[in-house]
A and B are shown apart, each in its own frame.
Chain A
Amino acid sequence: MDSTRESEPTLMKNKATVERKSERELVVTRTVDGPARIVFEAWTKPELLERWWAPKSFPISLLSCETDVRVGGRYRLVFGYEGSTMEFFGRYLEVTPHSRLVWTNDEGDDGGTVTTVTFEDTGGKTLLVVHDLYPSKEALDDAIASGSTSGMPEALEQLDELLVTLGASEGRS
């Protein structure tokens, strides 16, 4: 369709994989073209994190982003969508520069989903693994059934709407 995409590295497009590793675990894996030192920086500096956490292609905006990246430090992300806001917050359990971040997700009712991100430097590239451990099988089942995630429940619901709209406008295939 669009032939002008010189800024995109089309040859080596990295794709994320998502796997339900167990009844309570969901794992996202992807390689990022950059050393772990830099990728880690992009995950921990709020002014950088806020530039990519809410993808531009999603109908949400990140209104504020506070991260106090040290063990016991808190984070708080506020998203906006059509006039309403939603908050995600928790605290960092582990901070190991350039290799490991662990935080809690305290906004949900069930509470207790723990996210572990590991950064593995593989010669200038970084293998990124985002691991969500839910408090119970039921909690992950519920998240899936309700279309929510530990990260952005409403965003995914909105994605649903977007897909429905796109499907409708494209016509039946």
Chain B
Amino acid sequence: MVQYASGRLDASFAALSDATRRGVLERLGRADASITDLAVTFHMTLTGMRKHVGVLEQAELVTTEKVGRVRTCRLGPRRLEEETAWIERYRHLWDSRLDELDKVVEELKRKEKVDGLNARE
């Protein structure tokens, strides 16, 4: 069976599982911002925000660049892959669901065969 949950997707899901981090992505979707800006916007300490940005950076959802004393954050290359990740999860749901359907259909087919044989007696 194909293992769909690669480490890459896992990183994405973990990064997106937090409301603050989703908020940061939304905020960066409007304009680039420094860690300080983000910390203020989300009422967090610099250390707390650095951690969140670090997680997003690891998942390649955000890139940062230090110019002078300011670290600027912007959306990373994975931005467009958010939809892909979601679609992959949705596909997984349907795969699991239809695997169960297969079992039910298999059983109905068997039952029909038996009933058909009995009816001919």
Contact = CB atoms under 8 A, between A and B. Distances in A.
Interface of A: 13-20, 26, 28, 30, 32-34, 38-39, 41-42, 48, 51-58, 128, 130, 144-145, 147, 149, 151-152, 155-156, 159-161, 163-164, 166-168, 170, 172-173
16 contacts: A16-B95, A18-B87, A18-B88, A33-B102, A34-B109, A39-B105, A51-B103, A58-B93, A144-B86, A144-B87, A145-B82, A149-B90, A160-B17, A164-B14, A166-B10, A167-B13
Interface band, chain B: 35 or more
Interface string B1-17: 11001010111011011
Contacts of A155: 93
B27 to A, nearest CB: 14
A156 B98 contact: no
Contact of A52 (B14, B88, B101): B101
Nearest to A35: B109
A26 B88 CA distance: 12
Interface of B: 1-2, 5, 7, 9-11, 13-14, 16-17, 82-83, 86-106, 108-109, 112
